[in-house]
């Protein structure tokens, strides 16, 4: 007699659960409607193009289409691994991305901690607003500004060199100077925006921790080091893992608008190489193979880095 009763109770609980979900969905229908454009954008521009990955395994012909084009037996991938230029491009991409992580990852953290220590609300808001502005400017605009600033004839750098009686150098054409310029301008553009998430995380820190640190005799610097910084470790870990996953994305917009053929040896990255080979030379299958491998490496780095970090700490993406 207990089994039928239990089954009936389970059915009643299931019906209550479904009815509650329906009522909740009805209450939140406007929020779902707001989500719809984002979901459609994600589907159309992220999932539908996955169909085009077939080009990487075919000799694509316009008259036959993607499905009708003949298979090439991984010819594009074979060509990729024997091309010496591809290895130089890969090296440049990894070096630039590692430099971005080394200098660009801690910069928003330090900037957010410094902002958090400001006592004047007006000054703090002003500095925040000014630091956010570069993020909303396109690299097309910023590259034009930096090119003018670094110009030997018209820029402030050339003016300073002239004051010391020296001939201004063409910095954007020097391989030794291009990467520092690239990293420095990238950090300057993103430090303000990157600090937002850390400032938001600081609002969740228990004020009692600061009170306890002051009772123990800690000064402002010690509070930042021993209270604020450890409290940011979870969000720092997540952002670091995501940063490793995009290590092969070295910033196409910035590099493309700043580089030139004279610095290809240190500035040409995977994305700029794919742009030239795919758009200008119309080697769609080859560039699709490059992009596919790049994404596979990115996913592998995210999964492996998350696994390693989870082994040594309790933080991670999952």
Inside any domain, residue 72: no
Inside any domain, residue 70: no
Q: Are residues 158 and 113 in the same domain?
A: yes
**pLDDT tens digits along 69-121:** 888 888 888 888 888 888 888 899 999 999 999 999 999 999 999 998 888 88
Region of poorest pLDDT, from 52-56, 176-180, 226-230, 309-313: 309-313
Q: Give the chain's domain count.
A: 2
pLDDT for res 103: 92
What is the rounded average pLDDT of the residues 118-130?
Answer: 88
pLDDT for res 72: 86
* Torsion of the alpha carbons at 292, 293, 299 and 301, rounded to the nearest 10: -160
Q: Are residues 4 and 133 in the same domain?
A: no
Q: Are residues 171 and 208 in the same domain?
A: yes
pLDDT for res 6: 52
Q: Are residues 266 and 118 in the same domain?
A: yes
Q: What domain range is 255 assigned to? A: 84-312
Please answer whether residues 214 and 223 qualify as being in contact, where contact means their C-beta atoms are separated by less than 8 angstroms. yes
Residue with more model confidence, 247 or 3:
247
According to DSSP, residue 43 is labeled: I
pLDDT for res 117: 86
**Is the pLDDT assigned to residue 3 strictly greater than 70?**
no
CATH number at residue 278: 1.10.3720.10
Q: Are residues 50 and 178 in the same domain?
A: no
The per-residue pLDDT of the chain, averaged, comes to 86
Q: Are residues 142 and 102 in the same domain?
A: yes
């Amino acid at each position: 007699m207990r089994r039928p009763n239990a089954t009936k109770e389970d059915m009643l609980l299931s019906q209550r659960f479904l009815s509650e979900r329906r009522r909740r969905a009805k209450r939140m229908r406007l929020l779902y409607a707001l989500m719809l454009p984002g979901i459609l954008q994600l589907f159309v521009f992220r999932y539908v193009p996955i169909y085009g990955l077939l080009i990487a395994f075919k000799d694509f012909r316009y008259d036959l289409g993607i499905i009708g084009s003949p298979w090439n037996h991984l010819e594009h991938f074979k060509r990729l691994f024997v091309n010496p230029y591809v290895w130089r491009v890969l090296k440049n991409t990894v070096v630039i991305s590692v430099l971005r992580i080394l200098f660009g990852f801690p910069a928003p953290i330090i900037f957010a901690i410094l902002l958090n220590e400001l006592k004047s609300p007006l000054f703090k808001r002003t500095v925040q607003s000014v630091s956010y502005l570069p993020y909303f400017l396109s690299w097309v605009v910023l590259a034009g500004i930096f090119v003018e600033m670094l110009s030997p004839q018209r820029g402030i750098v050339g003016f300073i060199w002239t004051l010391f009686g020296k001939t201004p150098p063409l910095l954007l054409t020097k391989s030794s100077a291009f990467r520092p310029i690239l990293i420095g301008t990238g950090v300057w553009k993103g430090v303000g925006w990157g600090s937002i998430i850390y400032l938001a995380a600081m609002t969740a820190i228990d004020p009692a921790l600061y009170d306890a640190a002051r009772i123990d005799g800690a000064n402002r610097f010690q509070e930042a080091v021993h209270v604020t910084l450890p409290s940011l470790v979870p969000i720092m870990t997540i952002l670091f893992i995501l940063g490793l996953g995009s290590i092969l994305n070295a910033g196409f917009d910035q590099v493309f608008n700043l580089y030139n053929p004279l610095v290809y040896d240190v500035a040409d990255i995977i994305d700029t190489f794919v742009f030239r080979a795919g758009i200008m030379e119309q080697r769609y299958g080859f560039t699709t193979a490059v992009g596919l491998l790049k994404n596979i490496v990115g996913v592998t780095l995210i999964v492996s880095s998350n696994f390693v970090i989870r082994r040594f700490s309790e933080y991670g993406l999952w």
